């Protein structure tokens, strides 16, 4: 087998909307075509950027992979998170972050196609841009699939909100078919102007439900920080950041006929944040 790699990208003008990733700059080759010399998809890299056109907005991202080139059903992977401003009164600075990298071991069929679909959640940044790189027959990992849920939380401090949406669809609880080997969780700020007080960003999520074999806490924290007063009305830079990742050792055992609910909150501070959680199998 021979190592190979390819990428696709797409601009996104709306949230909760599926965008086929069919472009490579000036080229439009369509879906990925799996090279005939490879057998495994061993790495997925997801990058997220935007051309911002308004006061500060925050968004999360995700990619769906599907098609006859995969020997597994469709799978979903969480991408980076981004808060950016484009209005003259709030613009300033620039931001770049490493992509989300997933080490996978997904069998593929050479010559067939893999469709990549981009999603942006939270708020419209102006024009979001998602790019995904697929690498074949490199150093494999353990991941063979994934799923995600997202929702806006934090409008009331210390109040759990169920994360039950994926794309434009209310999917409800997770229904995993294999043990969870990694949890990915984060939330991005949707700042509002506060004249005198700052805002705390401290998102947490908990997993529960009859789909879990072992009764445990299963509580995870995401990236934490703060927003200064008047965030939305003074010059500020953009923030590009990846969700926090938890490797789960031998895996969290699940019941294939059960469901798992994810509920997230923002601790101690009333501030809307756009939360997203991915479960990897």
At residue 248 the predicted structure's pLDDT band, cuts being 50, 70 and 90, is very high
Lowest mean pLDDT across 61-65, 204-208, 231-235: 231-235
pLDDT above 90 (res 73): no
Q: What is the pLDDT of residue 195?
A: 59
**Higher pLDDT among residues 180 and 94, named by residue:** 180
Q: What is the pLDDT of residues 107-128, one digit of tens each?
A: 999 999 999 999 999 998 889 9
The mean pLDDT of 236-254, rounded to a whole number, is 91
Whole-number Cα distances in Å, 217 to 84, 187, 214, 252? 34, 20, 10, 12
pTM of the full predicted structure? 0.94
pLDDT at residue number 192:
65
Q: Confidence class of residue 232 from pLDDT cuts 50, 70 and 90?
A: low
Give the residue-averaged pLDDT of 168-185.
95
Handedness of CA 212, 170, 154, 89 (dihedral sign): positive
Neighbours of 235 (CB within 10 A): 11
Q: What percent of the chain has pLDDT over 70?
A: 91
Q: Over 80: is that where the pLDDT of 181 sits?
A: yes
Q: Give the C-alpha separation, 126 to 78, whole Å.
A: 20
């Amino acid at each position: 087998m021979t190592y190979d790699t390819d990428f696709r990208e797409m601009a996104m003008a709306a949230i909760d909307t599926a965008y086929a990733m069919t472009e490579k700059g000036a080229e439009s080759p369509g879906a990925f075509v799996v090279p005939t010399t490879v057998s495994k998809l061993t790495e997925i890299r997801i990058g997220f950027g935007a051309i911002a056109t308004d006061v500060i907005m925050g968004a999360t991202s995700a990619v769906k992979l599907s098609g006859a080139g995969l020997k597994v059903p469709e799978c979903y992977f969480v991408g980076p998170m981004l808060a950016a401003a484009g209005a003259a009164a709030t613009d300033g600075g620039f931001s770049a972050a490493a992509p989300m990298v997933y080490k996978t071991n997904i069998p593929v069929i050479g010559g067939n196609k893999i469709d990549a679909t981009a999603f942006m959640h939270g708020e419209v940044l102006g024009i979001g841009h998602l790019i995904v790189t697929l690498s074949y027959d490199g150093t494999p990992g353990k991941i063979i699939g994934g799923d995600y849920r997202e929702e806006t939380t934090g409008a009331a401090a210390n109040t759990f909100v169920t994360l039950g949406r994926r794309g434009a669809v209310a999917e409800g609880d997770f229904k995993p078919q294999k043990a969870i080997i990694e949890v990915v969780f984060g939330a991005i700020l949707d700042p509002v102007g506060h004249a005198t007080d700052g805002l705390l960003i401290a998102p947490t999520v908990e997993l529960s439900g009859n789909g879990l074999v072992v009764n445990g806490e299963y509580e995870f924290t995401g990236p934490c920080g703060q927003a200064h007063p008047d965030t939305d009305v003074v010059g500020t830079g953009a923030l590009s950041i990846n969700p926090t990742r938890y490797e789960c050792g031998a895996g969290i055992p699940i019941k294939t006929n059960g469901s798992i609910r994810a509920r997230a909150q923002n601790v101690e501070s009333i501030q809307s944040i756009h939360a997203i959680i991915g479960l990897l199998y």
